[in-house]
Amino acid sequence: MTGANSFSVSGYGPQRSGLARLLARDSLARRLDWPILLCALALSLIGTALIYSATRNRTELNQGDPYYFLTRHLLNTGIGITLMIGTIWLGHRTLRTAVPILYGISVFLVLMVLTPLGATINGAHAWIKLPGGFSLQPSEFVKVTIILGMAMLLAARVDAGDREHPDHRTVVQALGLAAVPIAITLLMPDLGSVMVMVVLVLGVLLASGASNRWIFGLIGTGVAGAIAVWQLKILDEYQINRFAAFANPELDPAGVGYNTNQARIAIGSGGLFGTGLGEGSQTTGQFVPEQQTDFVFTVAGEELGFVGGALIIVLLGIVLWRACRIARETTELYGTIVAAGIIAWFAFQSFENIGMTLGIMPVAGLPLPFVSYGGSSMFAVWVAVGLLQSIRVQRPLSA
Amino acid sequence: MSNIPETGRTPRVQVRLVVIQILVVSLLATLGGRLWYLQIREGDTYAKEASGNHVQQVVQPAVRGSILDARGVPIADNETRLVVSASRTDLMKMKDDGEAVLTKLAGVLDMTPKEVMDKVRLCDSETPQPCWNGSPYQPIPITDEATPKQALQIRERSEDFPGITAEPQAMRRYPAPGDANTAQVLGYLSPVTDDEIQQAQDTDSPYLRSDQVGRSGLERQYDKELRGKAGVTRYEVDNLGRVIGEAENDPAEPGANLVTSIDARVQRIAEYELNEAMKEARKQHDRNTGTNYKADSGAIVVMEAKTGRVVAMASNPTYDPNAWVGGISAKDYTKLTGKDSNYPLLNRAIQGQSAPGSIFKVIPTAAAIQAGYSFDGPYECSSSYSIGGQVFKNFESQSHGGISLGRALEVSCDTVFYRLSHEEWKKDGGTKPKKNANDWFYKTAHQFGLGEETGIDLPNEVTGRVPDRQWKLDYWKANKDAWCKTGKKDGDYAEKIAYENCLEGNRLRAGDSVNYSIGQGDTLVTPIQMATIYAAISNGGTLYNPTVGKAVISADGKKVQEIEPEAHGRLPMTKKTRDQIDQALEGVATRGTAAWRFQGWPQDEIPMHAKTGTAEVYGKQTTSWFATYTEDYSIVMTISQGGTGSGASAPAVRKLYNALYGVSEDGKIDKKKALLYTPQKGLPEIESDGSIDAPKVDKYPGPKDKESASPSPQPVVFGDPVPAGPAPGDLAATVNTPSGGNRDARRRAARPGGPKRRRGARRRRSTA
C-alpha cells in the first residue's frame, strides 16, 4: 500500500533510532497516505511545467519574466503543502471546534466579493483584490468550510451514538448552512463554483447516511433549479453562450465556440506522445484562452499527448481512489463525510475542467486541482489533502 | 485491503461510499475514453486543423509573362501603375455601406460618385457593366490611372479613406508596337470568378482571389504558362496574427514568356492594309444592290507555308485590348459586345466563316483527279450548264472551249466543275444515293481539313461546314418544322425556298452539288482553314496545325520549351497533281484572274501563286476572297460584303508580299528592305534577369509614305519615331483604285438581272 518495506517493522521496541521511529508502524510518517501526497505533488509539478510552457511567451501577462508563473505556481504549491502540514498537525478533530469561525470567515469573504472590493476576472465576478497585486477567490475556501460545517452538523448526533442517521432537522440545518454561500456565489455569478458546491453537498449528504428522499430531492431540486435558471435568465448572456458553444462549438468558431473549438484542436492535435513540452503550436500561438488556468489541460493534451493527459487523469484517479479508502476506513462519520465531500469536490471539478476542454462538458471557469495556476484554489486543495491525511492518521489503527 | 476494520457505520453509508467510488471511477474513465477518442482516433483531423489555424498565408502574385513577337518585341507585357482599390468587406461594415468614403474618393480621383460606386458593385444577371465580376473579398480596383498626387492624398489621409488603398501594381499592357495591336489574337484578361476558384481548387494550378484569367486568344490558350505560380509564404502566427516564425516559403515563379511567330511589323501592315482595303471597298459601288459595299468585316492570315506558323493574323473590326485592363468601363463593354460595332472581339480569321467562292476550286480539282478524271481533260468550259431546265451560268456566260483542269482554275471556269460534280453526283445515285457512294467531292473537302478545326492554338475556333449528304439530313431535321410552316409554293423567294426545303431539303439535290463544286451554297470555310490548305499546296501537301505560339521561355530565359509544328493530315493528291495545281495557280497570278494585281512582280525570283474568289451570300453583298502562296508564305484575305477577290483584297495582299520580300512597285527586290525574306528562324534571347533585347518596330506606313502618298507601303526602317499614325482620310484618298481594271466588277455589271429575280437564284455563283 505505501510501498514501504513492511519487514522493517523488526525494530519494534523502546530503543528505536530516529529513523526507525519515523519508519515505525505507528509513526505519523508511516500512517500518512503517501500515494495521495505524492500524486498531488506530481500533479502540482506537472502543472508547473504546463504553466511555464503556456506563459513563457506571454509578455503581456508575465511582465517580461518567462519564469514568473512558474515560480509563483511553485510558491503556491509550497504554501499549499505548508497549509496541509498545518492541517495535519492541528487535526480535523481539532478543526471541528473551529468550524463555525472558519465558516463565518469564509462566508464573510464571499460576501466581500459583492462589495466594491470584488473584482471581475475573465467575466467571473468572483475575486477580491488585495493590495500588492494579489487576489483572492473566496469561493475556493467556502468549498472547504461547507464540507466541514455540514459534516459537523450531520455527524454530531451520529458520532455521539444518539442516532444511526442524521435526522431531517439536522439535514435541513446542514443544507441551510450550505445554501447561504451557494446563494451568494450564484449572485456573483460564479456558476462553476456553484455547480461544484451543489455536487459537493450531494456527496456530503450521501456519505452522511441521510434519507434517500433528501438525496433524490436534492437532485430534483438541482435539475429544477437549472431549468429555472435557464428559463428565468438568471444567468448572464455569456454563461448561456458558453453553454450553447459547448453543445455546438462549430456554430460560431470565431465567437462563442472559439474556446471549446481551439481547446479541442489543441488536444486533438497532440496525438499519442504530443508535440513535446514547449513545442505545441496551439499553445505557442496562444490560440487557447486561459491556458495557464482553466484550460491548462489543453497544454498537456497538445504537448504531452495522450500519454501526458492520461497520466494526469490517472494521478487524479489515484488521489480519489485513496480518498475513497480513507472515507470507507475511518471509524467516525465526521471523517467519512469530510472525505466524501472532498471526493465529490475533486472528482466533479476535475471532470468538469477536463471535460470542458474535451468538449463533453459546458465551459465553466473552474481550475483543475493542483495543476491550474491560482493561489486560492491551490491552498484549498492542499488543505483538503491535509484533511484527508488527518482523517487517515487519526483513525484508530485496526488490530 | 481485505481486512477492512469494522467502523461501526451503517451499511447504508458503506453502500453509498461504494457508489461514490464507482461514480468517480466512471467519470475518470469517461475522460480517458474521450481523450483517447480525440487524440488517437481523430488526432489526424485535429492536427490538420491546428496547422491551418496557426499558419497564415501571404501571397505574392506572380508577374504574368509577356507575349513576344518572333523577334522578341513585346506585344503584351506589364507596366507598373498606381492602382486605387476598395475593399468591399471593409466598406460593407460601414453604416452607409461606404457611400461617404466613396463619394470623398470620387472627389480626389476626379470621377463622379456614381462611377466609383458602379465599379464596386458586384455583377449579377441584372447589373449592367461596370460591375465587379471577381471575388467580393478581393480589393476592387477603382482606377489604375491614379496620379502620384492622388495616391499620396489617399495614403496620407488613410483615416479618411478606410478600406481604400493606393498602391503600385503590375498591370497588363498591350503596347501595340508600331501600332500592331493584334487584339483578337492576344485576347484579354478579366478577374477570376468564385466558380473558377472553386473548380480549380484541387488542381495543380489553383487560382488566387486576385488572379486575372485569360478570357480569349493567346491569353486564354497559354494562361497556365503565362500566369506563373504565385509565391506563398506561410507564417506561423499566434491567435492575434502576430508572426512567430516562418513555416514555409514558396517564392513566386513569374509566368513564362510566350514567343509567338507573329511579326509585329507584318502584323501592323496586315491590320493597316486590311482596314484600308475595307475603307476602299466602301467607296466602291455595288451594282447588284445599288449601294456601296458595306465591307463590314475582314481578315488576313499570313502563314509560314512550311510550318503552319502564323506570321500575322488581322481581324477587322478591331478594338484596343487595353480597354480590358483594370476592369472594363460600361461604355467600352457595350461597344465591344454590341451589334453596332459588329462584334470586334471576334477573331474573324478563325471565327469568321463564309462560302469560299472560287478559292475553293482547288478542292474539286483534287476531287476530280481522285474520282479518276485526268488533269488535262479537255473539259468543256461552256457558257452555261443546264440540269433539267435549270441553267447554271459560267461567269459572264463566257465560253473557253475545251480546257484542262489547270486552265479551268486559271480562268476560274465554273461550268467545268459544275459538270464534273454533277456527273459524280449522278454516279453516286443522285437524290437516292448508293449504299457506298464515293462522294469524291465531299470526301476530298474533308480530307482538305474543311468542316473541322485546324487545331490552331487559339480558343473557340469554328469548324466551317462541308454541306454533304449527312449535313443536309441533319440540317433538314433541325429546321424542317420551321420551313414547312413558313413555306409557300407561290410565295416570295424566301417562302419558295422554305417550301422546297420542306419537301426535299433532306436530300442532296443536283443543284446543291453544282453550287458546291465552286464553293458556293452552304459551304462555309474560315480564313485559317484556307491559309492552311494553300500552305499545304505550297509545301507539298502537309496540312499543319497552324500555330501562333512558337516557344514558351521561362522568365529567366533558361527553360525553353519550343512548340513544334504538327501536321494533322496530308492533301489527298499525288506530287504530280500538286505540281499541276501549283502551275495553274501560278498561272492565275501571271495570266489569270489575279494577274493584273501582280503586275511587275518578280515571278522568276519569287514564284507567286494565287486564286481569287467572290462568294455570293443570299441577302448580302459578295464576299471577297484572295488566297495566295509563295515558297515560304501563304496569305489569305477575305472581306465580307467587300466585292470581288481581286478587286477588294488583292492590293493589300500584294503590299504584304512587297513588304515581306522587299519588293518595290517596279518589281525590284531589295533584301535589306525585306521584312522577312525567309521566315524567322530561331528565338529571341531572354536574359537571365528577364530583359529582352527587342528591336524597335517602326510605324507603318512611315512618314515618307504619307508624304509621297505612294499606294505601296515602304517597309523601310526609319530612324525617327513617328508621333502618331497618319490621318486615315489622307491615305485612303491616295490608295490606288483601279476601277477600270476591275474585271470582276465589270462582269457583274454585265450580268443580266440580280440574283434575286432569277429562279434558282439560291444557287450562289462564283464570278472569279
Work out the burial of residue B156: count CB atoms within 10 Å of its CB; fewer than 13 is exposed, 13-18 middle, 19 or more buried: exposed
Burial B628-658 (b: 16+ CB within 10 A, else e): bbbebbbbbbbbbbbbbbbbbbbbbbbbbbb
Residues of chain A neighbouring B45 (CB-CB closer than 8 A):
268
Give the pLDDT mean for A303-309. 89
Give the pLDDT mean for B20-46. 87
Q: Which residues neighbour B390 within 8 Å (Cβ) at sequence distance 6 or greater?
A: B510, B511, B759, B760
Is A331 in the B-facing interface, judged by CB distances under 8 Å? yes
- The beta-strand segments (E) located in B87-200 are 140-143, 164-173, 189-191
Burial A259-277 (b: 16+ CB within 10 A, else e): bbbbbbbbbbbbbeebbeb
Nearest in space to A183 (alpha carbons), one of A129, A230, A146: A146
* Confidence at B257, pLDDT banded by 50, 70, 90: very high
Which residue of A281, A319, A360 to mutate against B (max B Cβ within 10 Å)? A281
Largest CA distance in chain A: 72
At position A346, the amino acid (one-letter code) is F
Contact between A269 and B49 using a beta-carbon 8 Å cutoff: yes
Give the Cα separation of B72 and B70 in Å (integer): 6
Q: Which residues neighbour A43 within 8 Å (Cβ) at sequence distance 6 or greater?
A: A312, A315, A316, A319, A369, A370, A371
Nearest in space to B16 (alpha carbons), one of A362, A301, A210: A210
* Confidence at A2, pLDDT banded by 50, 70, 90: very low
Average per-residue pLDDT for chain B: 82
* Confidence at B204, pLDDT banded by 50, 70, 90: low
Give the Cα separation of A272 and A342 in Å (integer): 32
Alpha helices by DSSP H, listed for A10-137, are: 18-23, 28-31, 34-55, 59-62, 68-90, 92-114
Strands B297-304 and B310-316: antiparallel
Is residue A296 predicted with pLDDT exceeding 90?
no
The predicted pLDDT at position A321 comes to: 93
At position B158, the amino acid (one-letter code) is S
CB B67 within 8 Å of CB B60: no
Q: Residue B408: phi, psi to the nearest 5?
A: -60, -35
Contact between B54 and A282 using a beta-carbon 8 Å cutoff: yes
Which residue of B3, B27, B243, B244 to mutate against A (max A Cβ within 10 Å)? B27
CB B594 within 8 Å of CB B624: no
Nearest in space to B145 (alpha carbons), one of B104, B110, B117: B110
Give the Cα separation of B74 and B430 in Å (integer): 56
Angle, CA B141 vertex, CA B137 and CA B142 arms, to 5° = 125
Q: Which residues neighbour B293 within 8 Å (Cβ) at sequence distance 6 or greater?
A: B281, B282, B284, B285, B286, B621, B641, B642, B643, B648
CA B599 to chain centre: 34
Average per-residue pLDDT for chain A: 81
DSSP B83: E
Q: Which residues does residue B231 pair with via DSSP β-bridges, in sequence order?
A: B60
Q: Peptide bond preceding B728: is omega within 30 degrees of 0, i.e. cis?
A: no
Give the pLDDT mean for A185-198. 84
pLDDT > 90 in chain A, percent? 23
Give the Cα separation of B446 and B425 in Å (integer): 17
Is residue B747 predicted with pLDDT exceeding 60?
no
What residue in A sits closest to B33 (Cα-Cα)?
A310
Contact between A206 and B19 using a beta-carbon 8 Å cutoff: yes
* Confidence at B93, pLDDT banded by 50, 70, 90: confident
Is the Cα torsion angle B555, B558, B559, B564 positive or negative in sign? Answer: positive
* Confidence at B27, pLDDT banded by 50, 70, 90: very high
A-proximal residues of B, 241-280, CB under 8 Å:
244
pLDDT > 90 in chain B, percent? 35
Reduced to 3 states, what is the DSSP secondary structure of residue B592?
Answer: coil
Give the Cα separation of B332 and B328 in Å (integer): 6
pTM: 0.61
CB B543 within 8 Å of CB B449: yes
CA B217 to chain centre: 5
Work out the burial of residue B244: count CB atoms within 10 Å of its CB; fewer than 13 is exposed, 13-18 middle, 19 or more buried: middle
Contact between A285 and B244 using a beta-carbon 8 Å cutoff: yes
**Cβ atoms within 10 Å of A303's Cβ, excluding its own:** 26
The predicted pLDDT at position B689 comes to: 78
Give the Cα separation of B611 and B584 in Å (integer): 9
Contact between B49 and A206 using a beta-carbon 8 Å cutoff: no
Give the pLDDT mean for B218-236. 82
Give the pLDDT mean for B2-23. 73
- Name the residue facing B50 among A164, A281, A343 (closest C-beta): A281
Which tens digits make up the pLDDT trace of A147-167? 999 998 888 888 777 778 888
* Confidence at B660, pLDDT banded by 50, 70, 90: very high
Give the Cα separation of B315 and B301 in Å (integer): 9
Work out the burial of residue B533: count CB atoms within 10 Å of its CB; fewer than 13 is exposed, 13-18 middle, 19 or more buried: buried
Give the Cα separation of B506 and B474 in Å (integer): 8
Nearest in space to B648 (alpha carbons), one of B585, B591, B597: B597
Q: Residue B579: phi, psi to the nearest 5?
A: -65, -40
Which tens digits make up the pLDDT trace of B375-403? 997 999 998 898 888 888 887 668 888 99
Residues of chain A neighbouring B50 (CB-CB closer than 8 A):
265-266, 268-269, 281-282, 302
DSSP B645: I
The predicted pLDDT at position B54 comes to: 64
* Confidence at A5, pLDDT banded by 50, 70, 90: very low
Distances in Å between the Cα of B236 and the Cα atoms of A285, B43, B249, B633 are: 8, 20, 11, 59
The predicted pLDDT at position B623 comes to: 92
Q: Which residue has the higher pLDDT, B305 or A263?
A: B305
